[in-house]
Structure 1
Amino acid sequence: MRLLSVAVAVSFLAAVPTAAQARAGTIYYVDSRAGDDGAAGTSADKPWKTLEKVNAADLKPGDTVSFKRGSSFTGPLMLTANGTANRPIVITSHGAGAMARISGDEGDCVVAKGAYWRISGLRASRCRWAGFALRGHHIVLTGVQSDGNVAGVWVTPSGSHNTVRDSTLTGNNRMSVNDEGGDNDSGAFGVLLNGDDNLVTHNTITGSYAKSHDYGTDGAAVEIFNGDRNRITHNISRDNETFTELGAQKGKTATGNIFAFNVVTSSRSRGSFLITRGPGHVVGPVKGTIAVQNSVYLPAKDTIGWSCHDGCSPSILRLRNNVIAVGGEAGWEDGKGADDGGSVYFGRKLVFKLGPKSVKADPLFVSRTDLRLRPGSPALGRGLPLSPTWYGGTAPGQDILGRPVPASPDAGAYQR
Structure 2
Amino acid sequence: MRLLSVAVMAALLPAVPLQQRAGTTYYVDSRAGDDGAAGTSATAPWKTLDKVNAADLKPGDAISFKRGSSWDGQLKLSAKGTASRPIVAQAYGNGSLAKITGECVLVDGSHWRVSGLRATGCRWAGFEVAGDGNVLSGVQADKNVAGVWVTPTGRRNTIRDSRLTGNNKMSVNDDTPDNDSGAFGVLLNGDDNVVIGNTITGSYAASHDYVTDGAAVEVYNGDRNLVLRNVARNNETFTELGAQKGRTATGNVFAFNVVTSTRKRGSFLVTRGPGHIVGPVKGTVAVQNSVYLPARDTIGWSCGDGCSPSILKLRNNVIAVGGQAGYEDGTGADEAGSVYQARSFKFKLGPKSVKADPRFVSTSDLHLRPGSPAIGRGVSLSPESYGGAKASLAKPLPSAPDAGAYQH
Fold conserved (TM > 0.5)?
yes
CA contact (8 A) 1:127 1:149 kept: yes
Amino acid across the alignment from 2:285: I
Relative contact order (alpha carbons < 8 A, sep ≥ 6): 1 or 2 greater? 2
Amino acid across the alignment from 1:62: G
CA contact (8 A) 2:244 2:279 kept: yes
Asked if residue 387 in structure 1 is aligned to residue 382 in structure 2, the reply is yes
Query: d(CA) in 1 for partners of 2:17 and 2:349?
Result: 52
Unaligned 5+ residue runs, structure 2? 1-13
Unaligned 5+ residue runs, structure 1? 1-12, 399-403
1:328 maps to: 323
CA offset digits 1:99-138 (Å, max 9, x no partner): 000001xx3x100111110000000000000000000000
CA contact (8 A) 2:321 2:342 kept: yes
1:414 maps to: 406
Task: Give the counterpart of 1:53 among 51, 54, 66.
Answer: 51
Query: d(CA) in 2 for partners of 1:369 and 1:74?
Result: 37
1:377 maps to: 372
CA contact (8 A) 2:381 2:397 kept: no
Query: d(CA) in 2 for partners of 1:235 and 1:70?
Result: 28
CA contact (8 A) 1:144 1:168 kept: yes
Asked if residue 20 in structure 1 is aligned to residue 19 in structure 2, the reply is yes
CA contact (8 A) 1:207 1:240 kept: yes
Structure 2 counterpart SS, 1:75: strand
Structure 2 counterpart SS, 1:137: coil
Q: What are the within-5 Å matches in structure 2 for residues 107-118 of structure 1?
A: 107=103, 109-118=104-113
CA contact (8 A) 2:128 2:149 kept: yes
CA offset digits 1:258-317 (Å, max 9, x no partner): 000000000000100000000000000000000000000000000000000000000000
CA contact (8 A) 1:244 1:275 kept: yes
2:80 maps to: 82
Q: What are the within-5 Å matches in structure 2 for residues 205-244 of structure 1?
A: 205-244=200-239
2:28 maps to: 30
Larger displacement relative to structure 2 (176-185 or 140-149): 176-185
2:199 maps to: 204
CA offset digits 1:21-56 (Å, max 9, x no partner): 5x4200000000110000000000000000000000
Q: What are the within-5 Å matches in structure 2 for residues 267-346 of structure 1?
A: 267-346=262-341
Q: Once the 2 structures are TM-superposed, how far is the Cα of residue 391 of structure 1 from its aligned partner?
A: 1.9
Q: Once the 2 structures are TM-superposed, how far is the Cα of residue 20 of structure 1 from its aligned partner?
A: 2.4
Query: d(CA) in 2 for partners of 1:203 and 1:397?
Result: 20
CA contact (8 A) 1:397 1:405 kept: no
Query: d(CA) in 1 for partners of 2:373 and 2:392?
Result: 25
Query: d(CA) in 1 for partners of 2:233 and 2:226?
Result: 19
Amino acid across the alignment from 2:94: A
Amino acid across the alignment from 1:328: G
1:4 maps to: none
Query: d(CA) in 2 for partners of 1:43 and 1:32?
Result: 14
Q: Once the 2 structures are TM-superposed, how far is the Cα of residue 67 of structure 1 from its aligned partner?
A: 0.3
1:396 maps to: 393
CA contact (8 A) 2:140 2:162 kept: yes
Query: d(CA) in 1 for partners of 2:385 and 2:405?
Result: 14
Q: Once the 2 structures are TM-superposed, how far is the Cα of residue 408 of structure 1 from its aligned partner?
A: 2.2
Cα RMSD of the aligned pairs, angstroms, is 1.3
1:43 maps to: 41
**Aligned residue pair count:** 393
CA offset digits 1:348-398 (Å, max 9, x no partner): 011000000000111011111100111110000000110112223343347
Q: Once the 2 structures are TM-superposed, how far is the Cα of residue 74 of structure 1 from its aligned partner?
A: 1.2
Amino acid across the alignment from 2:393: P
1:134 maps to: 129
Q: Once the 2 structures are TM-superposed, how far is the Cα of residue 57 of structure 1 from its aligned partner?
A: 0.3
CA contact (8 A) 1:24 1:87 kept: no
Query: d(CA) in 1 for partners of 2:381 and 2:79?
Result: 41
Query: d(CA) in 2 for partners of 1:20 and 1:306?
Result: 48
**What is the percent sequence identity of the aligned residues?**
73
Structure 1 counterpart SS, 2:111: strand
CA contact (8 A) 1:69 1:97 kept: yes
CA offset digits 1:178-200 (Å, max 9, x no partner): 11123111100000000000000
Amino acid across the alignment from 2:404: G
Q: Once the 2 structures are TM-superposed, how far is the Cα of residue 19 of structure 1 from its aligned partner?
A: 4.0
Structure 1 counterpart SS, 2:348: coil
1:166 maps to: 161
Amino acid across the alignment from 1:20: Q
Amino acid across the alignment from 2:217: V
Amino acid across the alignment from 1:395: S
CA contact (8 A) 2:88 2:112 kept: yes
2:7 maps to: none
1:181 maps to: 176
